[in-house]
Amino acid sequence: MNSQRVPIRAVLFDWGGTLMREIPGFDGPMADWPRVEAVPGARDALEALHARFALAVATNAGASDEILVRKALSRAGLDQYVSAVVTARDLGVSKPNPAFFHAVLKRAGFSAAEAVMVGDAYGADIVGAKTAGLQAVWFNPTRSHCPLVHPVHDAEIRVLTDLPQVLEHPFLPDIPAALQLLHEHAVPENIIVHSLAVAAVAHHLATLLHAQGVHVDPLLSHRGALLHDLDKLSSEKPADHGVVTGRILHALGWPALAQIAERHVLGAHPETWEEKVVHYADKIVEEDKVVGLEARVTCLSCRYSAEGEKIARALPGLLALEEEIVGALGAARNPLLAELRALDPRLPAFVAPPSSA
């Protein structure tokens, strides 16, 4: 996999709900509303970004054309930072249609690889942008749960003033990039299917923990789980499993993912919450099914009979980890496992598989 990442040069913003408040009771073009309000932090974010990136508004507005959108932006003190405004009304096509994003990029003069979409509507803004080949930052001020079992966004922010800092650092690999990496390292399909199930479980657990106030990143947990078995077959001996993946991911510039891989193996001691949820998720998923710790350990002991005693000795520590997670959630073990079993770990149809070329 080419570790060189195309730098972001353009930032596309959704309009209503992302840059401008949608005020209940006000209808028609926003430019004509009795009052307009920028979303808190919008002006500071745009001011910080406009010297580094081309900024554009990409909106599904049906009542407002470019002129009216710019009028509303001007009333809120935002128009001076925006170089282009593209509306669904002007285009005759709307998000999440990839044609909408391609038209915006053509107008702005950038490729999809050079652009990131920022928006609050997961389907229209995030799924639409990713389908069109852009990167995507989910603006989630309401702290909503991701609507997908496998999150496709590249970053998540609660306040717009966090966006400049987020864009200073490379994103984690997205799902297609992670799948490409797995295929490049000849990871068999059954292990990829297992990794997808572990990723779904880890993301769900991290999301539940985050909602309880635990300092955990659901997106990092998901990507760490997706890549945790990258070296499953290339490791020369069981003791190396996880170590090789760590080396690969460190070399690619993803140290947090590397540490998750290194600490997911039996006998390791996960430290961060992301490491803990991936370690636990991997130990309750057999193939692509959530089976629980005891059943999973039994399967591992049968599969690796020479390591059976070592695997059995790991069970008490795993049960303690489970108790820690269940306790942090304020949940009961069996209902939690039932909830995890109900997850569908298959990828959504719109996620592009890696190229076979």
- Identify whether residues 237 and 192 lie together within a single domain: yes
How much is the pLDDT for 330? 95
Give 335's contacts (C-beta < 8 A, 6+ positions apart): none
Q: Are residues 129 and 273 in the same domain?
A: no
Q: Which of 145, 166, 187 is the last residue of a domain?
A: 166
pLDDT tens for 171-225 read 999 999 999 999 999 999 999 999 999 999 999 999 999 999 999 999 999 999 9
Q: SS3 for 109?
A: coil
pLDDT of 238 over the 90 cut: no
* Number of C-beta neighbours around residue 91 at 10 A: 16
**Does the residue 207 lie in any domain?**
yes
4 within some domain = no
| pLDDT tens digit sequence for 80-120 | 999 999 999 999 999 999 999 999 999 999 999 999 999 99
Domain tally for the chain? Answer: 2
pLDDT digits (tens, 9 = 90+) for 307-317: 777 788 889 99
Q: At 240, is the pLDDT very low, low, confident or very high (cuts 50, 70, 90)?
A: low
Distance from the first to the final alpha carbon of the chain: 12
Contact 221, 203 (CB under 8 A): yes
Higher pLDDT, 160 or 236: 160
List the one residue out of 58, 61, 204, 70 whose CA is nearest residue 145: 204
Q: Would you place residue 354 in the very low, low, confident or very high pLDDT band (cuts 50, 70, 90)?
A: low
Let me know: does 156 contact 219? Beta carbons within 8 Å. Answer: yes
Is 357's pLDDT higher than 50?
Answer: no
Residue 136 reports pLDDT greater than 50: yes
189: which DSSP letter?
Answer: H
CA dihedral 226, 162, 259, 223 (to 10 degrees): 0
Shared domain for 201 and 140, answered yes or no, is no
Whether 351 has a pLDDT exceeding 90, the answer reads no
- Whether residues 223 and 247 share a domain: the answer is yes
Task: Give me the percent of the chain exceeding a pLDDT of 90.
Answer: 85
pLDDT for residue 305: 74
Check: pTM over 0.85? Answer yes or no: yes
Q: Are residues 223 and 85 in the same domain?
A: no
5: amino acid identity, one letter? R
Give me the pLDDT at residue 355, please.
57
How far, in Å, CA of 116 to CA of 348, rounded?
21
Higher pLDDT, 39 or 268: 39
Residues 110 and 230 in one domain: no
Amino acid 234: pLDDT? 60
Say how far apart CA 213 and CA 190 lie, in whole Å. Answer: 35
Question: Which of 5-19, 28-42, 66-80, 239-253 shows the lowest mean pLDDT across its residues?
Answer: 239-253
The CA–CA distances, whole Å, from 277 to 34, 84, 149 equal: 49, 43, 15
164: three-class secondary structure by DSSP: helix
**Distances from the Cα of 78 to the Cαs of 41, 72, 159, 202, in angstroms?**
11, 9, 17, 39
Indicate if 96 and 135 belong to the same structural domain.
Answer: yes
The span from the CA of 240 to the CA of 97, in Å, is 45
Identify the band that residue 233 occupies on the pLDDT scale cut at 50, 70 and 90: low
By the 8 A CB rule, do 282 and 270 touch?
Answer: no
- The enclosing domain of 299 has a CATH number of 1.10.3210.10
Domain residue limits at 130? 10-166
pLDDT digits 0-9 by tens, 48-83:
999 999 999 999 999 999 999 999 999 999 999 999
